Structure formats: C-alpha cells, structure tokens
Amino acid sequence: MSNLIIKTQTYVALTPCAGRCSTVFGDSVCRGCRRFNHEVIQWNKYSIAEKAAVWKRLDAQLDQILIPMLPQHQLQQVMHFLEHKRVKLMPDASLGRKLYHALKLCEKNIGFADESGLGLNKQQVKAVWKTFEARVLQLAQASYEVAWLRANFIQQNIQGLENDTE
C-alpha cells in the first residue's frame, strides 16, 4: 500500500509500506518500501516533517530510476489508469511515484500494460519491473551507506571536540 491514503473517518494513515518488509530478517534497507530499518521501526513516532523527508527521499529515488526507464509514458493516460484502478495518491506524489504504482499494477496483471500509459507492451513488463527493483534497491542501499558514513563521521568529530575540551 505504498503511498496510498487509507481513510478511517477523519484520520488519514499513511505509510510507504509495501507489505513485504525484509528488515525483520536483518536487512538494513527494506526490499519492499526501501526505507531504512530504523525508519521502519520508528515510523509511528516520526513527526510530520520527518515522515515528509523520508517520502521525499523515496520519491526522488523513484524519479531517478523510473522516469528514464519509461520515456514513452503518457502522464494523462497513467493518471486515468490509476484513477480507474482506484489508486489513491498523495496530491504531491512525484512522477516516479505515479509511474511506480502503474508499473506495480501491470506487474501483478500484465494484461493492464496496454491501458497503463507506461508505453510498455505485455512482454516488456516483467523485465522492466525486475530491472527497476534491482536498480532502486541498489540506490536505496547506497543512500543508506552514505547516511551511515555521514552519521559516523559526525559522531567521531563530536567525540573529538569533546575530547579536545577536556
């Protein structure tokens, strides 16, 4: 249900969860939603700003990978397809996020390829999905490694400053 809005009365619950979390098996980056393991664990404690920052990073990754992979997409047709399939997106969902949801639907049912607006035929869907999954996971893992290295560097510098003042 990644980036889908689930409404119960007036409460809106939003999570990037794709329903196949691999962080429970020890992955640093979820293979489903591509959040970092600590983001998955602490999601419900995050402020709106913290959640928005995670969404922004995830959408940027989708944009970086999917937009170049689907150069023949027709945005109006993609939007009509998503509306027809009743996929609810955040108003500020990125182009990559929209393409992701359309591709995900086609991957589950290749018969949707012609109407999706992605510019793919049935024979291309599975290969494109497989390539996308590999590339976006690589990018997410690289982002995690950079974030970890940055945090480790900052921590070491803070400790160094504390030691200098003693």
Condensed to tens digits (0 to 9), the pLDDT of residues 56-83 reads 999 999 999 999 999 999 999 999 999 9
The pLDDT tens digits of the residues spanning 52-62 come to: 898 899 999 99
Residue 11 has pLDDT above 50, yes or no: no
User: How many whole angstroms separate alpha carbon 54 and alpha carbon 60?
Assistant: 10
The pLDDT tens digits of the residues spanning 28-55 come to: 888 778 888 888 888 889 898 998 898 8
Please give the model's pTM, rounded to 2 decimal places.
0.78
Beta carbons within 8 Å of 55's beta carbon, 6+ residues apart: 3, 16, 90
Write down the H helix ranges in the chain.
37-42, 48-69, 75-84, 95-108, 113-116, 122-165
Burial group, residue 124, by CB count within 10 angstroms (0-12, 13-18, 19+): middle
First to last CA, the chain: 51
Q: What is the largest CA-CA distance in the chain?
A: 68
